Amino acid sequence: MRTLKYKLWLCLFLLIPFVGQAQQTSYFLHTISKGQSLYSIAAMYNVTTEEIIRLNPGSEKVIKAGESLKIPQAQTSSQQRFHTIQPGETLYRLTQTYQISAEKICEANPGLTANNFRAGQVIVIPENNKEENVVAQTEPQAPATVSQQSKSGLQTNFQDMHKVKRRETIFSICKEYGITRQELIDANPELKTQPLKKGKFLRIPFPKVPGQPGMVQKLENEKPTKQPSNMELFNETSSNSKKKQRLDKVKVAVILPFMLDNGSSNEQKRMVEYYEGFLMAVDSLKQEGYSFEIHTYDSKGSTASIQGILTKPEMKEMNLIIGPVHSNHTKVVAAFARKHEIRMIIPFSSKDNEVFNNPYIYQINTPQSYLYSEVYDHFIRCFRNNVNILFVDTQDGNMEKTDFIKGLKMELDAQHMPYKNLTISAGQTTPLKEAVSTTQENLFIPTSGSNIALIKLLPYLKQLALESPECSIHMFGYPEWQTYTTDHIADFYAFDTYFYGSFYTNNLSVAVADFQHAFRKWYGKTIMNTYPKYAILGFDTGYYFLKGLSMYGNNLEENLSKIKVSPIQTSFKFERVNNWGGFINKKVFFVHFTKQHELIKMDFDK
C-alpha cells in the first residue's frame, strides 16, 4: 500500500510542470497607438478586455501610447493568427515561417506596405491553405546536401529564388536549374492556377536523387539562396492585382430604415433627409460628367428585410454600400461586403466593431477614444503657452464627459501643463476670483457638455468679468455647444469661446445658405434643426465617396489624400485602424468665436 501511494505521489509530482505549462497562455505583443482603448484593442483581436487585463495587470486603470500589451493568441495553427514583426524579420521570412505566400499575407493585410513593414507592427497571418503552402522555415538556411521533406510533402530547402524574366517559360526555367516541371510546380503550387508573369519570384528546389524518393542532391557550384527584398515582394503582389483604375459607372446601394410603411417618426425623417441630401450630391457630380447607378432599399426594422435585400442579384455588383443603421443589421451587411469585396460606409454610429476587422468598412463618426486623442493633440498645440487652465464642476449632475476630462488631464500632466479644479456654488464667485490669473489667459472648461452646465457657468463668468476686468477670460467646450448657439451666441463671442467637433454647420456661411436654398427648391421644405444636419451629412458623404470612386475606382484607398472636396459640414481624414481592418474618420477641428465677432473653423491638418 505504501509503495502504491509513493507511486501515485511521484506521478502527481511529475505531472505538475506539464499542468503548469498547459495553463500558460500563448500571446503576442501589441504596441498601443494614440487613440486606442482597451475596448478597441480587444475588438480588433477578437478577445475580451478581461483576457487582456488577465495578461496585463493594471491595464484596466490606464494604458499609454507606445507601451506594449500581451494579447492572447489562438492555439490552433490552421486558423487565422496574429504576428508581431520582429527586428530584422522580412516578408520573405514570414512566408517561410508560416508556409504561406507573400500574396496571401498582403491580401490579408491591405494596410501593410514595404514602407511600414517594421518591427512592432502586428499583422494577420491568414488561415493556411495546404494546396498553396510554401515551405516552413523559421530561419533562412543555406542549401543542404540532403533535406527532409515537410509534412505537406514539399522540400524544406531551396537552391535559389528565381525572378521570372521576360519571355521565360516553365520549360526554360526547369532546364536552367536541372529540375523537372513537376518539381518546380510542387515547390510553387500557385503555378497550377496562375500564369507565369515577369517579375514573379519562384522557389527553385533541389533536384531529387534518382531512385531515392524524398532525397535531394547537392548541385555543383551551388550558390547561397537569394532572398527577395520586401520592396520586390510587395511590388510583385501589387503587379498581380487585378484592380481596375477607373469605373465607367459607380454602382451604389443605399440601405437605410426609411420605415415608409410605419408612418412618421424622428428616425424616419432623419433617414429620408439624409437620402435627399445624398441625391443632391449625385446630381452635382452628374453635372460634372460622372455616371452612377443608385439602388435604394428600405431596411425597415428586421434582419429578415436585410437578408432579403442581400439576396437580390444586383447586390453582388455594387461598388459601394451606404448603411444600414442598426448594429445587428450592420454585422450582416458587413459580412456580405467583405465576401464580395464591396466598400461599405457606416454613416452614423461610432460604436460598431466591424471596422476593426473588415478592410472594406469606412466609419464616418470617429470612435470616442480616437476622437478624444485627436482633440487632446490639437488642444496642446493651441493652448501650450501662457494659459491658465481651469476645470469647472457646475454640479449639474451630468457625467457624460468624465472620460474626456480624465484623458485631457492625463495629457496635460504628461506635457507638464498645470491646471486647476474648481467647483462653483450658488452666488459664490470667490473660488473663481482666487483661481484666475492677471498675467495669463484664463481658459474655463466645464466638466459637463450640457446646456444646464453652460447656463450655470455663464453668470459667474460675467460677474468675474465685471469685478476683474484686467483678467482675460476664455471658454472651451464640446460639440453639443453648436446646438446652443442661438441661445448663447453673444456670450460665445464675449468669452472668446472654442469647442471641438468633427462636423459643424455655420448657418452664416455662403455654402450653407446656398445648400439650404437648393434643398428648399428641390423638396419644398427646410432642413431640420438637428445635430448634425442630416441632409448636409448625406450630401458631404455622397459627394466625397462618389467623386473618389469615379476618379480612382478600385484604387481609392491609395488615393484618399488626393480627393479634393470642400465639405459643407463634415470633413474627412480616413486612416486604417490596423493593417487588416477598415478606416475611421479622424478629422477634428476647433470652432472659435472671437471677441471681434469672427467665426473661425480651425483646421489643424492644413
Q: Which of 476, 466, 474 is nearest to 442 (CA)?
A: 474
Q: Which residue has the cell 445648400?
A: 515
> Stretch 37-54: mean pLDDT, rounded?
94
CA–CA distance, 448 with 78 (Å, rounded to integer): 50
pLDDT value for 506: 87
Is residue 150 predicted with pLDDT exceeding 70?
no
Asked if residue 479 lies in contact with residue 500, where contact means CB atoms within 8 angstroms, the answer is yes
What would the grid cell of residue 67 be?
507601451
pLDDT value for 300: 86
Fold assignment, 369-501: Rossmann fold (3.40.50)
pLDDT band at 245 (very low <50, low <70, confident <90, very high): low
Q: Which of 598, 568, 379 is nearest to 489 (CA)?
A: 598
Is residue 388 predicted with pLDDT exceeding 70?
yes
Q: Between the ranges 179-183, 346-350, 490-494, where is the mean pLDDT highest?
A: 490-494
CA–CA distance, 312 with 318 (Å, rounded to integer): 11
pLDDT tens, residue by residue, 283-341: 999 999 999 999 999 998 778 889 999 999 999 999 999 999 988 899 999 999 999 99
More confident residue, 188 or 284: 284
Is residue 449 predicted with pLDDT exceeding 90?
yes
pLDDT value for 15: 44
pLDDT band at 16 (very low <50, low <70, confident <90, very high): very low
pLDDT value for 179: 85
Q: Which residue has the cell 477634428?
A: 588
pLDDT band at 195 (very low <50, low <70, confident <90, very high): confident
CA–CA distance, 19 with 474 (Å, rounded to integer): 63
CA–CA distance, 92 with 102 (Å, rounded to integer): 7
Q: Which CATH class is domain 23-131?
A: alpha beta
Asked if residue 179 lies in contact with residue 140, where contact means CB atoms within 8 angstroms, the answer is no
More confident residue, 349 or 78: 349
- 141-226 CATH: 3.10.350.10
pLDDT band at 9 (very low <50, low <70, confident <90, very high): low
pLDDT value for 241: 62
> Stretch 370-393: mean pLDDT, rounded?
95
DSSP track, 53-106 = HHHSTTTTT---TT-EEEEE----TTS-EEEEPPTT--HHHHHHHHT--HHHHH
CA–CA distance, 494 with 482 (Å, rounded to integer): 16
Is residue 281 predicted with pLDDT exceeding 80?
yes
Question: C-alpha distances in angstroms, 380 versus 87, 286, 376, 385, 414?
Answer: 33, 43, 6, 9, 11
> Stretch 264-292: mean pLDDT, rounded?
94
Is residue 559 predicted with pLDDT exceeding 90?
yes
pLDDT value for 302: 77
> Stretch 249-272: mean pLDDT, rounded?
88
Is residue 182 predicted with pLDDT exceeding 50?
yes
Is residue 531 predicted with pLDDT exceeding 70?
yes
CA–CA distance, 451 with 431 (Å, rounded to integer): 22
What would the grid cell of residue 167 be?
519571355
Is residue 156 predicted with pLDDT exceeding 50?
no
Percent residues over pLDDT 90 in the chain? 60
CA–CA distance, 381 with 412 (Å, rounded to integer): 11
Question: Quick check: pTM over 0.85?
Answer: no
CA–CA distance, 10 with 363 (Å, rounded to integer): 59
CA–CA distance, 60 with 574 (Å, rounded to integer): 28
Q: Domain limits of the chain?
A: 23-131, 141-226, 250-366+510-591, 369-501
Residues 6 or more apart whose CB falls under 8 angstroms from that of 330 comprise 324, 346, 349, 352, 354
Question: C-alpha distances in angstroms, 344 versus 220, 222, 241, 494, 545?
Answer: 56, 52, 21, 44, 10
Q: Do domains 141-226 and 369-501 have the same CATH topology?
A: no
CA–CA distance, 578 with 44 (Å, rounded to integer): 8
Percent residues over pLDDT 70 in the chain? 84
pLDDT tens, residue by residue, 114-142: 999 999 999 999 987 654 444 333 333 33
What average pLDDT does the chain have?
A: 85
More confident residue, 475 or 215: 475
CA–CA distance, 421 with 445 (Å, rounded to integer): 10
Is residue 450 predicted with pLDDT exceeding 50?
yes
Is residue 354 predicted with pLDDT exceeding 60?
yes
Residues 6 or more apart whose CB falls under 8 angstroms from that of 396 comprise 448, 450, 452, 453, 456
CA–CA distance, 576 with 570 (Å, rounded to integer): 19
- 250-366+510-591 CATH: 3.40.50.2300
What would the grid cell of residue 311 be?
439576396
Q: Which of 187, 130, 141, 137 is nearest to 162 (CA)?
A: 187
